[in-house]
Amino acid sequence: MTDQITIPSSVISHDKCDEALLDNISNDLLKSSNPSTTWQHDKTGKISRIKTKIINCEKVSSTTYYGMETELGSGFNGQVYLLQPEGKEKRKAKAVKVSSNESLLHELKISLLWPLNTVGLMIRPKAHLTTEIGEMLIMHKYDSPLNKIYMTLSSEQKLEALYQVSFGLAMLHSLKITHGDIKIENILYDKLKNRYDLSDFEYSRVNNEEERKYDIKCLMSVIHSILFGSSQTYETSNLKYYQDTLLKIGYSPIVIDLILDILMQDNYSAAEICRQCCIALEKFKN
């Protein structure tokens, strides 16, 4: 059987936001439980979700079993699998991240620092399980990581992605959290919601000025990949290359100027980059 931490829906105060706050979460909030939903992992490898409702003063439970099937992706700390509901077509598939170290607990704690469904940031994980095969994080299933789709984006979708990704980072920084590993593999796309969310918070820190600068540097690299379809190199980091390529993508001079302004400076905050991308997107649409 498994130990479960059910995710509370409360929002943590950010007035005294520092690393000690994360310790407080482990001692306090993580132990509280949500009485209506429980996740389990049994010896056969099945994951189940038990939902309990009170109907006519009686407790009624319904269980959904999930098979851990296809691998959705993997990284430094573990694998992510598709969780497919069995026999209940209407239930949505989920994703589960499995790791043999404690990084998933850290990710979960970080996610408790933002309100539920904060736009731009990964939808908060549903549960954390400690099982025989390692730690597990049950998550909303996204359709694709950005690294699999960025080559297929239209000119407008590119600007939309730039805007949303910089919005996510601006949101994170406004919560006094840094990401520490911004890259296209760690940005997940949800087609239905048309959302690009930051994910993978293993290296996230609280209140760290140096890390904030590092995040911006990595954001610039993501922006480069989205716009130019390649990683930044010496040859592809000059004004002439930027102008020619942006013109070929089909942007107007005013949109190009806005983008160049982001690419050619090095001291914008995520919020400033986001604002600039937002204006570029609006100019593109009009």
Ligand X SMILES: Nc1ncnc2c1ncn2[C@@H]1O[C@H](COP(=O)(O)OP(=O)(O)O)[C@@H](O)[C@H]1O
Residues that bind ligand X (CB under 6 A): 72-78, 80, 95, 97, 139-142, 145, 185-186, 188, 199-200, 202
* Nearest approach, Cβ of residue 191 and Mg ion (Å): 20
168 binds, among ligand X, Mg ion, none (CB under 5 to 8 A by kind): none
Q: Is the CB of 97 or the CB of 275 nearer to ligand X?
A: 97
Q: Which is nearer to Mg ion, 149 or 279 (CB)?
A: 149
Give the Cα separation of 10 and 95 in Å (integer).
23
85 binds, among ligand X, Mg ion, none (CB under 5 to 8 A by kind): none
The CA distance from 225 to 12, in Å, is 35
| Rounded least distance, CB 184 to ligand X, Å | 9
Q: Which does 77 bind (CB under 5 to 8 A by kind): Mg ion, ligand X, none?
A: ligand X
> Which of the choices Mg ion, ligand X, none does residue 126 contact, using the CB cut-off of 5 to 8 A by kind?
none
Q: What does the DSSP assignment read for 151-164?
A: GG--HHHHHHHHHH
Interatomic CA distance for residues 263 and 240, integer angstroms: 12
Closest CB 138 distance from ligand X, rounded Å:
9
Rounded to a whole number of angstroms, the minimum distance from the CB of residue 241 to ligand X is 28
Shortest CA distance to 40 belongs to which of 111, 122, 113, 130? 130
Q: How far is the CB of 37 from ligand X (least distance, A)?
A: 18
User: Shortest Cβ contact with ligand X: which residue?
Assistant: 75
Q: Is residue 75 a contact residue for Mg ion (CB under 5 A)?
A: yes
Query: Of 107, 160, 200, 215, which lies in the binding site for Mg ion, with binding defined by CB under 5 A?
Result: 200
Nearest Cα to 144, choosing from 201, 185, 175? 185
DSSP H or E segment with residue 166: helix 155-174
Residue 24: Cβ within 10 Å count: 13
Q: Which is nearer to ligand X, 92 or 217 (CB)?
A: 92
- Shorter beta-carbon distance to ligand X: residue 78 or 251: 78
Distance, C-alpha 16 to centroid of its chain: 24
Q: If contact means CB under 5 to 8 A according to the sort of partner, which of ligand X, Mg ion, none does residue 197 touch?
A: none
The dihedrals phi and psi of 72, each to the nearest 5 degrees, come to: -90, -25
**By C-alpha distance, which of 35, 194, 169 is closest to 114?**
169
